[in-house]
Amino acid sequence: MSPLKTIALFVFTAGAEILGCYLPYLWLRHGRPMWLLFPAAISLGLFAWLLTLHPTGAGRTYAAYGGVYVATALLWIWVVEHQAPDRWDVVGVLVSLVGMSIIAFAPRGG
């Protein structure tokens, strides 16, 4: 799988997980309707399915996914919750993405 496709798959996976967790948060913390749990469950099921599409072993996928999750979560906070990231958020995201890139794209014997 090409690096661009891998990153896109990671981003979609992270988006499904974040949405699946954000909707129950809205219900529990902000009194939104309970029916939000239904699309949350679908989103979390999609998240689990998307993880199976990654081409490497589960442990390596989860490790690399963590970096993309951090970046996607901060993008979510900025776009959905209207909280701009500060410079330390940006530094943390960059460190996470460097780590993710090393894990996901390092040349390996095969």
Whether this prediction's pTM lies above 0.85 is answered by: no
Judge contact between 71 and 96, C-beta under 8 A: yes
- Average pLDDT (39-46) is 98
Phi/psi for 94 (5° steps) reads -60, -45
Whether residue 110 has pLDDT greater than 70? no
pLDDT at 41 over 80: yes
Tell me what percent of the residues of the chain surpass a pLDDT of 90: 62
- Distance between CA 86 and CA 105 in Å, rounded? 28
